[in-house]
């Protein structure tokens, strides 16, 4: 029964991309309960305590959202532009293809994070600004791959 509850919880947290108790949390609960004596009369108390532990873990993980609601979105946009700048600096060097791959992965991750953070009933200027910045980063990357990539000369650092 505990395995079914743990598998369901892990699936739901993964399916909805919620930050919460990880698989390690459930492994610890299973290890703890396997070493306890069998006492059917305490089953509800133990289940309630396990639920409270999961609830505490969830509240601690979600409390960050109250103080910095768009923190992950801001961080990924900053990282996207930093990786994009590293790629532009590496054009004409041996690291160009490696940096290009890194930019692709970062831009895809940024799009996924922005899509998961979108709330249709809540319009926010900050989120719209982050979305526009992500669009510009994609346009800059496309321009550099179409027009500048593969040139033998390095791009001047002033650009």
The single residue listed with the structure tokens 């890194």 is 102
Ordered by start, the domain boundaries in the chain are 2-66, 70-148
According to DSSP, residue 4 is labeled H
> What's the whole-model pTM score?
0.64
Q: What is the pLDDT of residue 23?
A: 64
26 with 6: CB under 8 angstroms?
Answer: yes
Per residue of the chain (159 residues), give pLDDT as tens: 666 777 777 777 777 766 665 666 666 666 776 777 778 888 888 889 878 887 887 888 778 778 888 888 999 999 999 999 999 888 888 888 899 999 999 999 999 999 888 877 878 888 899 999 999 999 999 998 888 766 666 666 665
């Amino acid at each position: 029964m505990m395995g079914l509850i743990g598998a369901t919880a892990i699936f739901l947290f993964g399916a909805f991309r919620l930050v919460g108790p990880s698989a390690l949390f459930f492994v610890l609960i299973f290890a703890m309960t396997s070493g306890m004596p069998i006492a059917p009369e305490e089953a509800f108390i133990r289940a309630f305590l396990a639920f409270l532990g999961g609830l505490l873990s969830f509240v601690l993980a979600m409390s960050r959202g109250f103080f910095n609601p768009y923190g992950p979105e801001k961080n990924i946009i900053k990282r996207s532009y930093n990786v994009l700048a590293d790629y532009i600096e590496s054009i004409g060097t041996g690291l160009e293809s490696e940096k290009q791959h890194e930019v692709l992965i970062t831009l895809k991750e940024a799009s996924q994070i922005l899509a998961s953070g979108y709330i249709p009933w809540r319009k926010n200027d900050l989120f719209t600004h982050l979305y526009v910045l992500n669009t510009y980063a994609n346009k800059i990357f496309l321009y550099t791959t179409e027009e500048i990539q593969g040139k033998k000369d390095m791009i001047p650092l002033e650009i």
